[in-house]
Protein backbone atom coordinates (compact mmCIF):
# COMPACT_ATOMS: atom_id res chain seq x y z
CA UNK A 1 0.00 0.00 0.00
CA UNK A 2 1.28 3.46 -0.92
CA UNK A 3 -1.01 6.33 0.09
CA UNK A 4 -0.83 10.11 0.01
CA UNK A 5 -0.22 11.67 3.42
CA UNK A 6 -1.56 15.09 4.34
CA UNK A 7 -1.07 17.48 7.24
CA UNK A 8 -4.54 18.33 8.58
CA UNK A 9 -3.71 20.28 11.73
CA UNK A 10 -0.77 22.27 13.13
CA UNK A 11 0.06 24.10 16.32
CA UNK A 12 2.96 25.73 18.12
CA UNK A 13 3.55 26.91 21.65
CA UNK A 14 5.29 30.16 22.35
CA UNK A 15 9.04 29.47 22.30
CA UNK A 16 11.43 30.86 24.91
CA UNK A 17 12.34 30.28 28.54
CA UNK A 18 9.06 28.73 29.63
CA UNK A 19 9.32 28.48 33.40
CA UNK A 20 5.65 29.50 33.52
CA UNK A 21 4.46 26.04 32.47
CA UNK A 22 5.32 22.43 33.22
CA UNK A 23 6.17 19.79 30.62
CA UNK A 24 2.60 18.67 29.97
CA UNK A 25 1.22 22.21 29.88
CA UNK A 26 3.83 23.19 27.31
CA UNK A 27 2.82 20.22 25.15
CA UNK A 28 -0.86 21.07 25.49
CA UNK A 29 -0.33 24.54 24.00
CA UNK A 30 0.62 23.13 20.60
CA UNK A 31 -1.52 19.98 20.79
CA UNK A 32 -4.75 21.91 21.40
CA UNK A 33 -4.03 24.22 18.46
CA UNK A 34 -3.36 21.29 16.14
CA UNK A 35 -6.50 19.49 17.28
CA UNK A 36 -8.64 22.60 16.75
CA UNK A 37 -7.02 23.24 13.38
CA UNK A 38 -7.74 19.70 12.20
CA UNK A 39 -11.37 19.61 13.31
CA UNK A 40 -10.97 16.12 14.78
CA UNK A 41 -10.98 14.91 18.40
CA UNK A 42 -8.28 13.25 20.48
CA UNK A 43 -10.14 9.93 20.23
CA UNK A 44 -9.64 9.98 16.44
CA UNK A 45 -5.85 9.84 16.80
CA UNK A 46 -4.63 6.26 16.42
CA UNK A 47 -0.97 6.72 17.24
CA UNK A 48 1.27 9.49 18.57
CA UNK A 49 4.98 10.07 18.08
CA UNK A 50 6.89 12.23 20.55
CA UNK A 51 10.18 13.71 19.30
CA UNK A 52 12.30 14.60 22.29
CA UNK A 53 15.94 14.45 23.36
CA UNK A 54 15.14 15.28 26.97
CA UNK A 55 18.51 14.72 28.63
CA UNK A 56 18.23 18.19 30.25
CA UNK A 57 14.70 17.84 31.60
CA UNK A 58 12.94 15.83 34.29
CA UNK A 59 10.68 13.53 32.25
CA UNK A 60 12.36 10.19 31.53
CA UNK A 61 9.36 8.78 29.63
CA UNK A 62 7.83 11.78 27.87
CA UNK A 63 5.54 9.88 25.49
CA UNK A 64 3.73 8.13 28.34
CA UNK A 65 3.55 11.28 30.45
CA UNK A 66 2.04 13.22 27.57
CA UNK A 67 -0.35 10.40 26.66
CA UNK A 68 -1.86 10.66 30.10
CA UNK A 69 -2.11 14.44 30.14
CA UNK A 70 -3.39 14.78 26.55
CA UNK A 71 -6.09 12.11 26.84
CA UNK A 72 -4.25 9.70 24.55
CA UNK A 73 -4.01 6.73 26.94
CA UNK A 74 -4.54 3.48 25.04
CA UNK A 75 -3.14 4.82 21.77
CA UNK A 76 0.05 3.49 20.24
CA UNK A 77 3.08 5.61 20.97
CA UNK A 78 6.84 5.91 20.77
CA UNK A 79 9.59 8.43 21.39
CA UNK A 80 11.98 9.39 18.58
CA UNK A 81 15.46 10.86 18.96
CA UNK A 82 17.82 12.01 16.20
CA UNK A 83 19.57 14.89 17.97
CA UNK A 84 18.50 18.26 16.51
CA UNK A 85 16.68 16.40 13.70
CA UNK A 86 14.43 14.55 16.16
CA UNK A 87 11.38 16.49 14.96
CA UNK A 88 11.87 15.48 11.34
CA UNK A 89 12.55 11.90 12.40
CA UNK A 90 9.19 11.99 14.17
CA UNK A 91 7.48 13.32 11.06
CA UNK A 92 9.15 10.62 8.95
CA UNK A 93 7.93 7.94 11.36
CA UNK A 94 4.34 9.18 11.24
CA UNK A 95 4.48 9.65 7.47
CA UNK A 96 5.58 6.05 6.91
CA UNK A 97 2.91 4.71 9.26
CA UNK A 98 0.15 6.45 7.34
CA UNK A 99 1.65 5.90 3.90
CA UNK A 100 1.97 2.15 4.52
CA UNK A 101 -1.61 1.78 5.74
CA UNK A 102 -0.76 0.96 9.35
CA UNK A 103 -2.67 3.99 10.62
CA UNK A 104 -4.98 6.68 9.26
CA UNK A 105 -4.38 9.48 11.77
CA UNK A 106 -1.11 10.10 13.62
CA UNK A 107 0.03 12.94 15.88
CA UNK A 108 3.63 14.16 15.94
CA UNK A 109 4.50 16.23 18.99
CA UNK A 110 7.98 17.68 19.40
CA UNK A 111 8.91 19.10 22.78
CA UNK A 112 11.83 20.20 24.95
CA UNK A 113 12.19 21.88 28.33
CA UNK A 114 15.88 22.68 27.94
CA UNK A 115 15.96 25.41 30.56
CA UNK A 116 15.31 22.93 33.36
CA UNK A 117 19.12 22.62 33.31
CA UNK A 118 21.68 25.39 33.69
CA UNK A 119 23.31 26.76 30.52
CA UNK A 120 26.79 25.24 31.15
CA UNK A 121 25.21 21.81 31.63
CA UNK A 122 23.15 22.13 28.45
CA UNK A 123 26.22 23.23 26.46
CA UNK A 124 28.13 20.20 27.76
CA UNK A 125 25.28 17.79 27.01
CA UNK A 126 24.93 19.08 23.45
CA UNK A 127 28.72 18.85 23.04
CA UNK A 128 28.54 15.17 23.96
CA UNK A 129 26.38 14.65 20.86
CA UNK A 130 29.45 14.66 18.65
CA UNK A 131 31.95 11.83 18.89
CA UNK A 132 32.20 11.76 22.67
CA UNK A 133 35.50 9.95 23.32
CA UNK A 134 37.45 11.36 20.37
CA UNK A 135 36.25 14.97 20.19
CA UNK A 136 34.60 15.94 23.47
CA UNK A 137 36.89 14.10 25.89
CA UNK A 138 40.16 14.63 23.98
CA UNK A 139 39.68 18.15 22.63
CA UNK A 140 36.79 19.65 24.61
CA UNK A 141 34.79 20.54 21.51
CA UNK A 142 31.29 21.91 22.04
CA UNK A 143 28.80 22.68 19.29
CA UNK A 144 29.88 26.29 18.80
CA UNK A 145 33.38 24.90 18.32
CA UNK A 146 32.20 22.35 15.76
CA UNK A 147 30.47 24.97 13.65
CA UNK A 148 33.35 27.41 14.08
CA UNK A 149 35.44 24.90 12.12
CA UNK A 150 32.93 25.13 9.28
CA UNK A 151 32.84 28.92 9.52
CA UNK A 152 36.61 29.34 9.35
CA UNK A 153 36.88 26.90 6.44
CA UNK A 154 34.18 28.78 4.53
CA UNK A 155 35.72 32.18 5.25
CA UNK A 156 39.11 30.97 4.08
CA UNK A 157 37.78 29.38 0.89
CA UNK A 158 35.43 32.14 -0.21
CA UNK A 159 36.94 35.24 1.45
CA UNK A 160 33.86 35.76 3.58
CA UNK A 161 33.94 38.00 6.63
CA UNK A 162 32.37 37.87 10.08
CA UNK A 163 30.02 40.64 8.97
CA UNK A 164 28.77 38.36 6.20
CA UNK A 165 27.79 35.71 8.73
CA UNK A 166 26.00 38.35 10.78
CA UNK A 167 23.72 39.08 7.83
CA UNK A 168 21.95 35.78 8.59
CA UNK A 169 21.26 36.97 12.14
CA UNK A 170 19.95 40.33 10.88
CA UNK A 171 17.52 38.66 8.46
CA UNK A 172 16.25 36.06 10.86
CA UNK A 173 15.78 38.47 13.75
CA UNK A 174 13.90 40.77 11.35
CA UNK A 175 11.33 38.03 10.73
CA UNK A 176 11.47 36.72 14.30
CA UNK A 177 10.41 40.18 15.46
CA UNK A 178 7.21 39.61 13.45
CA UNK A 179 6.52 36.11 14.82
CA UNK A 180 4.52 36.18 18.08
CA UNK A 181 5.75 32.69 19.00
CA UNK A 182 9.47 33.44 18.53
CA UNK A 183 11.99 33.27 21.37
CA UNK A 184 13.55 36.57 20.25
CA UNK A 185 11.16 39.22 18.94
CA UNK A 186 13.62 42.03 18.44
CA UNK A 187 15.53 43.14 15.36
CA UNK A 188 19.33 43.29 15.49
CA UNK A 189 21.91 45.12 13.39
CA UNK A 190 25.25 44.04 11.95
CA UNK A 191 26.85 46.17 14.68
CA UNK A 192 24.86 44.36 17.40
CA UNK A 193 26.03 41.03 16.06
CA UNK A 194 29.65 42.10 15.67
CA UNK A 195 29.72 43.54 19.20
CA UNK A 196 28.27 40.43 20.83
CA UNK A 197 30.61 38.16 22.78
CA UNK A 198 32.61 35.48 21.03
CA UNK A 199 31.48 31.94 21.71
CA UNK A 200 33.99 30.21 19.44
CA UNK A 201 35.76 32.45 16.93
CA UNK A 202 34.48 33.58 14.48
CA UNK A 203 31.04 32.75 15.92
CA UNK A 204 29.57 35.15 18.44
CA UNK A 205 26.53 35.05 20.70
CA UNK A 206 24.32 36.57 17.99
CA UNK A 207 25.60 34.01 15.49
CA UNK A 208 24.14 31.29 17.72
CA UNK A 209 20.66 29.91 18.34
CA UNK A 210 19.37 30.12 21.93
CA UNK A 211 18.59 27.43 24.50
CA UNK A 212 14.83 27.21 24.09
CA UNK A 213 11.76 25.57 25.60
CA UNK A 214 8.84 24.87 23.30
CA UNK A 215 6.49 22.40 21.68
CA UNK A 216 5.09 21.95 18.18
CA UNK A 217 2.43 19.54 16.91
CA UNK A 218 1.15 18.32 13.58
CA UNK A 219 -1.57 15.79 12.78
CA UNK A 220 -1.14 13.75 9.61
CA UNK A 221 -3.78 11.63 7.92
CA UNK A 222 -4.29 9.44 4.89
CA UNK A 223 -5.94 10.78 1.75
CA UNK A 224 -8.83 8.35 2.23
CA UNK A 225 -9.48 9.68 5.72
CA UNK A 226 -9.20 13.27 4.56
CA UNK A 227 -11.66 12.79 1.69
CA UNK A 228 -14.07 10.67 3.73
CA UNK A 229 -14.28 13.26 6.51
CA UNK A 230 -14.45 16.30 4.25
CA UNK A 231 -11.28 17.85 5.65
CA UNK A 232 -10.41 20.89 3.57
CA UNK A 233 -7.04 22.32 2.53
CA UNK A 234 -4.61 19.61 3.65
CA UNK A 235 -0.95 20.21 2.94
CA UNK A 236 0.55 17.09 1.40
CA UNK A 237 3.90 15.64 2.39
CA UNK A 238 5.29 15.15 -1.10
CA UNK A 239 8.58 13.52 -0.13
CA UNK A 240 11.14 13.09 2.64
CA UNK A 241 14.84 12.64 1.97
CA UNK A 242 17.27 11.50 4.64
CA UNK A 243 20.91 10.65 5.18
CA UNK A 244 23.63 10.38 7.82
CA UNK A 245 27.35 11.13 8.07
CA UNK A 246 30.20 10.21 10.39
CA UNK A 247 30.01 11.26 14.02
CA UNK A 248 33.74 12.00 13.94
CA UNK A 249 34.47 15.22 12.04
CA UNK A 250 38.05 14.17 11.34
CA UNK A 251 36.69 11.50 9.00
CA UNK A 252 34.88 14.00 6.77
CA UNK A 253 36.31 15.11 3.45
CA UNK A 254 35.90 18.88 3.99
CA UNK A 255 34.21 21.52 6.13
CA UNK A 256 32.56 23.38 3.24
CA UNK A 257 29.48 21.19 3.05
CA UNK A 258 27.32 18.73 4.98
CA UNK A 259 27.27 15.55 2.91
CA UNK A 260 24.14 14.30 4.67
CA UNK A 261 22.22 17.40 3.56
CA UNK A 262 23.33 17.01 -0.05
CA UNK A 263 22.27 13.36 -0.11
CA UNK A 264 18.97 13.97 1.71
CA UNK A 265 18.11 16.75 -0.75
CA UNK A 266 18.84 14.55 -3.74
CA UNK A 267 16.48 11.86 -2.40
CA UNK A 268 13.74 14.37 -1.59
CA UNK A 269 13.95 16.10 -4.98
CA UNK A 270 13.89 12.81 -6.86
CA UNK A 271 10.87 11.50 -4.96
CA UNK A 272 9.03 14.80 -5.52
CA UNK A 273 9.96 14.87 -9.23
CA UNK A 274 11.78 18.16 -8.79
CA UNK A 275 14.69 19.07 -11.04
CA UNK A 276 17.51 20.38 -8.84
CA UNK A 277 18.36 23.00 -11.47
CA UNK A 278 14.88 24.50 -11.08
CA UNK A 279 14.55 24.36 -7.29
CA UNK A 280 14.43 28.11 -6.70
CA UNK A 281 11.82 28.49 -9.45
CA UNK A 282 9.60 25.78 -8.00
CA UNK A 283 9.90 26.26 -4.23
CA UNK A 284 8.05 29.25 -2.80
CA UNK A 285 9.50 29.27 0.71
CA UNK A 286 11.98 27.31 2.82
CA UNK A 287 12.85 26.70 6.45
CA UNK A 288 16.47 25.60 6.89
CA UNK A 289 18.54 24.56 9.88
CA UNK A 290 20.40 27.65 11.13
CA UNK A 291 21.65 26.57 14.56
CA UNK A 292 24.51 28.95 13.77
CA UNK A 293 24.68 31.59 11.04
CA UNK A 294 27.20 29.57 9.02
CA UNK A 295 24.76 26.64 9.01
CA UNK A 296 22.20 28.62 7.03
CA UNK A 297 24.78 29.63 4.44
CA UNK A 298 25.92 26.03 4.05
CA UNK A 299 22.28 24.98 3.67
CA UNK A 300 21.75 27.41 0.78
CA UNK A 301 24.54 25.73 -1.14
CA UNK A 302 24.04 22.12 -0.05
CA UNK A 303 20.36 22.28 -1.03
CA UNK A 304 21.22 23.75 -4.41
CA UNK A 305 19.43 27.03 -3.77
CA UNK A 306 22.59 28.92 -4.73
CA UNK A 307 25.93 27.85 -6.26
CA UNK A 308 28.93 27.04 -4.10
CA UNK A 309 30.47 30.13 -2.57
CA UNK A 310 27.51 32.36 -3.45
CA UNK A 311 25.50 32.00 -0.26
CA UNK A 312 27.03 35.21 1.10
CA UNK A 313 26.20 37.11 -2.09
CA UNK A 314 22.60 35.86 -1.86
CA UNK A 315 22.36 37.42 1.60
CA UNK A 316 23.95 40.69 0.48
CA UNK A 317 21.44 40.92 -2.36
CA UNK A 318 18.55 39.97 -0.03
CA UNK A 319 17.68 37.02 -2.23
CA UNK A 320 16.47 35.07 0.84
CA UNK A 321 14.10 37.79 2.03
CA UNK A 322 10.47 38.10 0.95
CA UNK A 323 10.59 39.39 -2.60
CA UNK A 324 13.92 37.68 -3.29
CA UNK A 325 14.71 34.53 -5.23
CA UNK A 326 13.61 32.22 -2.40
CA UNK A 327 12.52 33.44 1.07
CA UNK A 328 14.22 31.45 3.83
CA UNK A 329 13.41 31.21 7.54
CA UNK A 330 10.50 33.64 7.64
CA UNK A 331 9.69 32.19 11.08
CA UNK A 332 12.93 33.69 12.37
CA UNK A 333 14.65 30.34 12.00
CA UNK A 334 16.35 28.56 14.85
CA UNK A 335 18.37 31.74 15.31
CA UNK A 336 15.43 33.91 16.41
CA UNK A 337 12.38 31.63 16.64
CA UNK A 338 14.43 29.37 18.90
CA UNK A 339 15.71 25.81 18.90
CA UNK A 340 13.87 23.50 21.32
CA UNK A 341 15.68 20.56 19.81
CA UNK A 342 12.97 17.88 19.64
CA UNK A 343 10.38 20.44 18.53
CA UNK A 344 12.43 22.16 15.82
CA UNK A 345 11.70 19.88 12.86
CA UNK A 346 8.00 19.73 13.74
CA UNK A 347 7.84 23.52 14.05
CA UNK A 348 9.21 23.77 10.50
CA UNK A 349 6.18 21.77 9.32
CA UNK A 350 3.90 24.09 11.29
CA UNK A 351 5.45 27.19 9.77
CA UNK A 352 5.47 25.95 6.19
CA UNK A 353 1.90 24.67 6.42
CA UNK A 354 0.82 28.14 7.52
CA UNK A 355 2.88 29.76 4.77
CA UNK A 356 1.36 27.58 2.06
CA UNK A 357 -2.16 28.31 3.34
CA UNK A 358 -1.56 32.08 3.71
CA UNK A 359 -2.00 31.88 7.49
CA UNK A 360 1.32 33.42 8.56
CA UNK A 361 1.39 36.96 9.91
CA UNK A 362 1.05 39.45 7.06
CA UNK A 363 4.51 41.00 7.54
CA UNK A 364 6.22 37.64 7.08
CA UNK A 365 3.93 35.88 4.61
CA UNK A 366 5.64 34.62 1.46
CA UNK A 367 4.09 34.95 -1.98
CA UNK A 368 2.90 31.43 -2.78
CA UNK A 369 2.94 30.79 -6.53
CA UNK A 370 3.61 27.07 -7.01
CA UNK A 371 2.34 25.78 -3.68
CA UNK A 372 5.62 24.05 -2.78
CA UNK A 373 7.77 24.44 0.36
CA UNK A 374 11.00 22.90 1.65
CA UNK A 375 12.11 22.04 5.18
CA UNK A 376 15.71 21.17 6.05
CA UNK A 377 16.55 19.79 9.51
CA UNK A 378 20.03 18.73 10.65
CA UNK A 379 20.98 16.63 13.66
CA UNK A 380 24.38 17.20 15.22
CA UNK A 381 26.93 18.59 12.77
CA UNK A 382 25.37 16.73 9.89
CA UNK A 383 25.15 13.42 11.74
CA UNK A 384 21.57 13.28 10.47
CA UNK A 385 19.78 15.30 7.81
CA UNK A 386 16.17 15.36 6.63
CA UNK A 387 14.76 17.32 3.71
CA UNK A 388 10.98 17.43 3.39
CA UNK A 389 8.94 18.75 0.46
CA UNK A 390 5.41 19.98 1.16
CA UNK A 391 2.81 20.75 -1.50
CA UNK A 392 -0.74 22.03 -1.84
CA UNK A 393 -1.38 19.43 -4.57
- Catalytic site residue 84? yes
Query: Which is the catalytic residue, given 289, 339, 376, 383?
Result: 339
CB-CB contact of 291 with 334 (8 Å): yes
- Catalytic site residue 339? yes
10 Å CB burial of residue 82 (0-12, 13-18, 19+) is buried
Q: Residues 166, 171, 172, 174: what is their CA dihedral angle, to the nearest 10 degrees? A: 120
CB-CB contact of 145 with 130 (8 Å): no
ω into 70 cis (within 30 of 0): no
Query: Which is the catalytic residue, given 84, 166, 193, 291?
Result: 84
Phi, psi (degrees; rounded to nearest 5) at 130: -80, -145
Task: Residue 87: name the closest of 377, 304, 333 by CA.
Answer: 377
Active site residues: 84, 339
Amino acid sequence: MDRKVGIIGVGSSRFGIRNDVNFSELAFESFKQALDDSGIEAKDIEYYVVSNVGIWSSEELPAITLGESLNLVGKGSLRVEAACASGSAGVKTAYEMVKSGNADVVLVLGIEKMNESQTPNVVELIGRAGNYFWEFENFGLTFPGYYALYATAYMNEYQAKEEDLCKVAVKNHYYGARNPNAHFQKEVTIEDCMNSKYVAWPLKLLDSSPITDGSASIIVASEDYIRKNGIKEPVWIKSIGYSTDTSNLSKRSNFLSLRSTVEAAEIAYKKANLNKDEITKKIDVAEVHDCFTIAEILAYEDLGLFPRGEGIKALKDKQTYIGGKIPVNLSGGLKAKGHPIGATGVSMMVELTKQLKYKAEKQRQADIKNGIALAHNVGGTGHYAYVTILSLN
